Copies of this chain bind each other. A is one copy, B any other.
Amino acid sequence: MCHKDSIPVIPFSKATGLDGFTNTLEGGVLIDLMSMNKIVEINTSDFNCTVEPGVTHETLNQQLHTTGLWFPGDPGADASVCGMAAMSASGTNAARYGTMVQNVLNLEVVLSNGDVLYTAGKDGRPRKSGAGYNLTKLFVGSKGTLGVITQAAVRLYARPAVCSVGICPFQTVNKAIEAVVATLQCSVPIAKIEFLDAATVAACNRYNKLTLVESPTLFVEFHGNSEAEVAEQASLVEEIFASNDGREFTWCHAPEEQKKIWASFHSAYYAILSEKNNVKGLRIHFSVPTSALAKAVAETRKDIDESGVFGAVVGHVGDGKFLCIFLVDELNHNEMKIIQELSDRIVKRALASGGSCTGEHGIGISKRKYLENECGEVAVNTMIAIKNALDPKWIMNPNELFPKN
């Protein structure tokens, strides 16, 4: 893990492909960690495991299969678990199981001076510690700018005994999101609650040969220790959805069928991408407080409709997050300008409601300009002071988060 002083180092893991993590390369060294692919330890008594950067969440869950445990982090792509830690990933199961912020217990990090840091002590896995500063949470989401993550210890959960998946179409975007808000406010321990707008459902139908009703739709999943527990959650949510003009639920209990439904949800980006030729997909993530969700999603959908460009809205709405997907022809400057303006408007609305310009994957390069808007000048100065303290020569993924000094 040695490197020459002052040569920029950009850690690369499979997750980094999600959001331009590697785009900052400026004559630096790109470290591909994917061949460090050991599952170092699975501790079934304490419900945790330690993995190297080459281990993706799907590989990990395959290895966990016989233990009765699982790792719920699932940002869609089959991302590296260490990469997900670096980018503070969230995903479909965050509503019930939390994001990487909650689920990372310890990180091994190579610092800019070559020292190897264990953020919670070598072999440390307490359920709770108050010893010194919480370095683990500082490094989660630091995107390789403070060091290269070479191992992550993460929390595992008991695989739920019973799991049920439902799909419910709604009359309007607004009603669908109001149903989400009501569900969150009733504290139903829902595992997944995901939103697709009508354009996305239509694209998914074509791409996956499905016959879903082409209107704003919620995909939900319930976990429990018993049929009765799941049935109770499901019946409460059916009631909430019905009172928000939700149409008939389609329920799905067979594991293979459930897998197919989530595969179609996760294919949404590719489904939309296949709607047009010779375009690139541009994804912009946001998050807002629950109370601002319905207005934010509905106004975003309206903005896109009025702009004349093609765009879809989907989201891990259970965690207050949503995502716009635009199909862009980078040579069409007029369209690019419209999309840039749209994106600015949507970000500003999210920030004005106490939200974040980035629900997933960290701030990246394209959203660096919003960092001060969201966090304030003092917070950015504080972050830069930490960056200077831990990486005085700015060799660790420079240009990510803040422009280089």
Residues of A whose CB lies within 8 Å of any CB of B are: 43, 45-47, 87-88, 90, 94, 98-99, 101-102, 111, 115-135, 137-138, 140-142, 146, 157-158, 181, 185-189, 225-226, 228-229, 232, 236, 287-291, 319-321, 351, 354-363, 367, 370-371, 374-376, 378-383, 385-386, 388-390, 401
Tell me the minimal C-beta distance from A92 to chain B in angstroms.
13
A370 CA to B141 CA in the complex, in Å?
28
A381 to B135 alpha-carbon distance, docked (Å) = 11
Residue in contact with A128 in the complex, picked from B94, B126, B133, CB distance below 8 Å: B94
Instruction: Give every chain B residue within 8 A of A116 (Cβ-Cβ).
Output: 378
- Given A43-B291, A125-B289, A383-B135, decide whether A378 and B117 contact each other with a Cβ distance below 8 A: yes
The interface residues of chain B lying within 8 Å CB-to-CB of A134 are 88, 101, 137-138, 140-141
Residue of B nearest to A390 (CB): B385
Distance between Cα atoms of A146 and B359 in the complex (Å): 27
Pick the residue among B126, B142, B359 that contacts A126 (CB under 8 A): B359
Write out the residue numbers on chain B whose beta carbons fall within 8 Å of the beta carbon of A117: 376, 378-379, 382
The answer to whether B127 touches A319, judged by C-beta atoms less than 8 angstroms apart, is yes
Interface of A is mostly: loop
Contact B376 A129 (CB under 8 A): no
Task: Determine which residue in A133, A359, A381, A389 has the highest number of CB atoms from chain B within 10 A of its CB, and name it.
Answer: A133
Collect the chain B residues with CB atoms within 8 Å of residue A141's CB. 130, 132-134
Cα distance A189–B131 in the bound complex, in angstroms: 27
Number of copies: 2
- Closest 5 A/B residue pairs (Cβ): A137-B137, A129-B356, A45-B291, A389-B389, A127-B320
Docked pose: A189 CA to B97 CA in angstroms: 12
Contacts of A385 in B (CB 8 A): 389-390
Q: Are B229 and A111 in contact (CB under 8 A)?
A: no
Given known A117-B378, A291-B43, A374-B121, contact A130–B87 (CB-CB < 8 A): yes
Can you name the residue of chain B whose Cβ is closest to the Cβ of A137?
A: B137
CB pair A228 B225 closer than 8 Å: no
B115 and A381 contact, CB distance less than 8 A? yes
| A377 nearest in chain B by CB position | B115
What distance in Å separates the Cβ of A287 from its nearest Cβ neighbour in chain B? 4
Our pick among B118, B133, B232 for the contact of A386 (Cβ within 8 Å) is B133
Q: Name the distance in Å between A144's Cβ and chain B's nearest Cβ.
A: 12
Q: How far is the CB of A403 from chain B (nearest CB, A)?
A: 13
Is the Cβ of B290 less than 8 Å from the Cβ of A45?
yes
**CB closest residue in chain B, given A392:** B385
Q: A134-B88, A137-B137, A357-B131 are in contact. Are A126 and B320 (CB under 8 A)?
A: yes
Complex interface: chain B residues within 8 A of A102 (CB): 98, 102
Complex contacts, A186 vs chain B, CB 8 Å: 158, 225
Shortest Cβ distance from A285 into B: residue: B130
Residues of B within 8 A of A123 (CB): 354
Q: Which of B128, B137, B226, B378 contacts A287 (CB 8 A)?
A: B128
User: Could you tell me if B375 and A131 are in contact, using CB atoms closer than 8 angstroms?
Assistant: yes
- B residues less than 8 Å from A351 (CB atoms): 121
B101 and A137 contact, CB distance less than 8 A: yes
